[in-house]
């Protein structure tokens, strides 16, 4: 998973990226999304793939400052999530069921 630190490098195997992003055992926390009540509490209980889907599909206008925290202090910005979603959205949705 070393390559994950520098997404979106083009020299990495796309199949490896898809597997890691959809892996259910990688826990993630979503930060930076304002909830309906005006708070910015972290969203927990999602895998890395589920977090990417949530930020890309469900968070709508409040997600531009969102970031996904996973692993040992690693993170993905909103833009990273959109890039991953563009490349692997269908596979991530299939893996989240």
Query: pLDDT (tens digit, 9 = 90+) per residue, 57-91?
Result: 876 666 778 899 988 888 999 989 998 888 888 87
Q: Beta strand 27-31 with 67-70: parallel, antiparallel or unpaired?
A: antiparallel
Question: How many structural domains does the chain have?
Answer: 1
Backbone dihedral angles phi then psi of residue 30, each to the nearest 5 degrees: -100, 125
Q: What pLDDT is attached to residue 29?
A: 93
Burial letters 18-33, b for 16+ CB under 10 A, else e: bebbbeeebebebebb
At residue 24 the predicted structure's pLDDT band, cuts being 50, 70 and 90, is low
Distance, in Å, from the CA atom of 60 to the CA atom of 58, rounded to the nearest integer, reads 6
Q: What pLDDT is attached to residue 15?
A: 54
Of residues 41 and 16, more confidence is placed in 41
17: pLDDT strictly greater than 60:
no
Residue ranges making up the domain that contains 60: 2-95
């Amino acid at each position: 998973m070393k390559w994950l630190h520098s997404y979106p490098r083009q020299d990495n195997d796309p199949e490896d990226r898809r597997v890691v992003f959809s892996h259910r055992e990688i826990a993630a926390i979503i930060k930076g999304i304002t909830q309906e009540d005006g708070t910015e509490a972290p969203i927990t209980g999602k895998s890395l793939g589920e977090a990417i889907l949530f930020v890309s599909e469900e968070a709508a206008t409040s997600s531009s400052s969102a970031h996904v925290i996973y692993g040992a202090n690693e993170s993905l910005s909103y833009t990273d999530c959109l890039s991953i979603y563009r490349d692997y959205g269908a596979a991530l949705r299939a893996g989240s069921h």
